């Protein structure tokens, strides 16, 4: 009987982190599922679904040597998740503006109120130290209606934040 775990790995970015971690998992008989891996700031981050016929302690022991040698911090959660549970986004939202505290909280609050279910969110700070520009891209699912999300965003647009919302209509061929 195998179980799924969410393996979180964070460490100072350097070449070989993905190869090192996944090789250790492969040698330990793990099956890998969906993942998000990226450099954020100077750190490299991994969120990875791992399937294993053993406990979280076994998984911890598998990644311990590579984590130690590459200076990685590891966290493991037992999850109920499974593969093939994708949910299709029907709306794509981009937000940008002069970086100031509270943009994310403000925008996501009005969107949540209007029924947005966020499936993915990526954000970045562009510009330079003197004039930082915040850029955020969201893909999500409108639990109520896209028009409701559109009118909700009008409120935050007045604050000097640029917002664009586009319906996503997936073409199935």
Partner 1 sequence: MVELEILTYPDQRLKQVSPPVRQFGEELRVFIARLEFTMRGSPGGVGIAAPQVGYFQRIVIVDVSAKPKIPGHGRMVLVNPEILSWEGMTRGREGCMSVPDFTGNVMRAERITMTAFDEEGNLQEYLCEGYEARAVQHEIDHLDGLLFLDRLVSRHTDLFRRKKYDNKICNYSA
Backbone angles phi, psi at 104, to 5 degrees: -60, -45
CB of 150 to partner 1, least distance (A): 11
Binding mask 67-86 for partner 1 (x = CB under 8 A): -----------------x-x
CB of 128 to partner 1, least distance (A): 17
Indicate which single residue of 18, 58, 76, 135 sits in contact with partner 1 (rule: CB under 8 A).
135
| Whole-number Å distance between alpha carbons of 53 and 124 | 38
Sheet holding 31-40, edge to edge: 31-40, 43-52, 3-12, 72-78
| Whole-number Å distance between alpha carbons of 4 and 78 | 6
CB of 170 to partner 1, least distance (A): 4
SS3 53: coil
Residues forming the site for partner 1 (CB under 8 A) = 84, 86, 88-89, 92, 94, 120, 122, 124, 135, 137, 166-173
């Amino acid at each position: 009987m195998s179980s799924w775990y969410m393996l979180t790995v964070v460490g100072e970015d350097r070449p070989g982190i993905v190869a090192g971690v996944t090789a250790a998992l492969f040698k330990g008989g793990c099956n890998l599922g969906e993942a998000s891996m990226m450099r954020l700031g100077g750190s490299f981050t991994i969120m990875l679904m791992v399937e294993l016929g053993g406990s979280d302690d076994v998984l911890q022991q598998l990644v311990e040597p590579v984590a130690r040698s590459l200076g990685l911090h590891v966290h493991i959660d037992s999850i109920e998740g499974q593969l093939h549970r994708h949910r299709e986004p029907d709306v794509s939202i981009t937000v940008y503006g002069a970086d100031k505290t509270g943009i994310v909280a403000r925008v996501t609050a009005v969107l949540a109120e209007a029924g947005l279910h966020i499936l993915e969110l990526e954000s970045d700070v562009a510009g330079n130290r003197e004039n930082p520009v915040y850029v955020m891209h969201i893909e999500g699912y409108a639990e109520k209606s896209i028009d409701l999300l559109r009118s909700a965003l009008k409120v935050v647009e007045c604050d000097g934040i640029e917002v664009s919302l586009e319906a996503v209509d997936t073409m199935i061929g």
